[in-house]
Amino acid sequence: MRDFTAKAMAGPRPVVLSGPSGAGKTTLLNKLLKEYDSVFGRSVSHTTRNPRPGEENGKDYHYVTREVMQTGIQKGDFVESAEFSGNMYGTSKAAVQDVQAKNLICVRVVDMQGVRSIKGTDLRPIYVSIQPPSIAVLEKRLRDRKTESEDDLQKRLKAAKVDMEFSKEPGIFDFLIINDNLEDAYGELKQALLEEITKFKEVNVSS
Ligand code: ADP
Ligand code: 5GP
């Protein structure tokens, strides 16, 4: 039986993915985008941090100077922005529109400040927090990734402790996924998004 209630007719909701640096957001999202490339698209954020080896401008982030980013924010080009570990990060309106223009469900990867900003809008996304099994495991993953200086790594660990507490606050996240075993965590992420995937397919098959 088809469900024609207002909730079912509303179409798929966008997704907000958050969690500490090193928790595995990029790894899990890349798996999702590979398996569901015709369903989900990631909005490409802007950042003032330097690209890591292998990262591409326009694909992983739009790498810009602080001046360019501040001018964009003043012009109202960003839906949200934040300062994280000494750098600016933000989601531009254009980045979201790019995904919507491809008729994909937009996934935004944002820090805690981004989550709080989006909570103040009428976007109504699915909020998913990806968390590490422990701070010790997180530290090991960040060290093994070898992408941050010791100073930046310490800043990220400090922010991670706050983020881990934030994720437990009631009413913030719809789903909390502990990324211990990668395949298990990916299975949980797919399960969390199953309703949106189903709605997306219904809308796109019937139209
Ligand atoms: P984030 O995007 O949240 O900063 P990443 O996806 O870059 O995190 O993951 C951080 C590091 O941990 C990467 O080197 C990644 O390969 C590794 N990693 C991610 N998930 C797991 C996991 N379940 N088990 C072991 N290592 C993992
Ligand atoms: P990284 O430098 O590891 O790529 O990202 C650092 C942090 O910035 C992560 O917590 C990530 O979620 C966050 N981040 C990435 N893009 C955005 C964005 O557009 N807005 C906000 N608020 N945070 C972002």
What digits encode the pLDDT tens for the residues 85-142?
Answer: 999 999 999 999 999 999 999 999 999 999 999 999 999 999 999 999 999 999 999 9
Residue 49 a catalytic site member: no
**Residues flanking ligand 1, CB < 6 Å:** 19, 21-27, 141, 144-145, 179, 182, 185
Sheet with 78-84, side-by-side order of all strands: 62-63, 46-47, 87-92, 78-84
Report which of 68, 130, 14 is spatially closest to residue 138, judged by C-alpha positions: 130
In the chain, the amino acid numbered 190 is K
| Position in ligand 1 atom list of the atom nearest CA 20 | 3
What's the confidence (pLDDT) of residue 8? 46
What's the confidence (pLDDT) of residue 11? 76
Report which of 6, 3, 4 is spatially closest to residue 124, judged by C-alpha positions: 6
Q: Is 170 inside any structural domain? A: yes
Query: Ligand 1 pocket check: which of 26, 87, 141 to mutate, most ligand atoms within 8 Å of Cβ?
Result: 141
Residue 116 a catalytic site member: no
Binned at pLDDT 50, 70 and 90, residue 9 comes out as low
Report which of 132, 139, 174, 171 is spatially closest to residue 155, judged by C-alpha positions: 139
Q: Which two tokens stand for residue 165?
A: 């507490």
Ligand showing the shortest atom-to-Cα distance for residue 21 = 1
Burial 22-50 (b: 16+ CB within 10 A, else e): bbbbbebbebbeeebeebbbbbbbbbbbe
H-type alpha helices, the chain: 6-9, 25-35, 66-74, 93-101, 112-119, 135-145, 150-166, 182-206
Q: Write out the residue range of the structural domain in which residue 131 sits.
A: 2-43+104-206
Percent of the chain with pLDDT over 90: 91
The arithmetic mean of pLDDT across residues 176-189, rounded, is: 98
Report which of 23, 10, 27 is spatially closest to residue 160, judged by C-alpha positions: 23
What's the confidence (pLDDT) of residue 207? 55
| Model confidence at 174: pLDDT above 80 | yes
Q: Residue 57 forms beta bridges with which residues?
A: 61
Q: Is 92 inside any structural domain? A: no
pLDDT 10s digits, 47-83 = 999 999 999 999 999 999 999 999 999 999 999 999 9
Q: Is 91 inside any structural domain? A: no
Q: Is 90 inside any structural domain? A: no
Indicate the range of 1-10, 21-30, 169-178 predicted with least confidence: 1-10
How many domains in the chain?
1
Q: Which two tokens stand for residue 161?
A: 């402790």
Ligand showing the shortest atom-to-Cα distance for residue 155 = 2
| Model confidence at 1: pLDDT above 80 | no
Binned at pLDDT 50, 70 and 90, residue 172 comes out as very high
Q: Is 48 inside any structural domain? A: no
Q: Is 59 inside any structural domain? A: no
What's the confidence (pLDDT) of residue 203? 87
The arithmetic mean of pLDDT across residues 139-165, rounded, is: 97
Q: Is 55 inside any structural domain? A: no
**Which CATH number characterizes residue 144's domain?**
3.40.50.300
In the chain, the amino acid numbered 115 is V
Q: Is 97 inside any structural domain? A: no
| Crossing angle for the helix pair 150-166 and 112-119, to the nearest 10 degrees | 40
Residue 145 a catalytic site member: yes
Question: For strand 126-131 and strand 46-47, is the pairing parallel, antiparallel, or unpaired?
Answer: unpaired
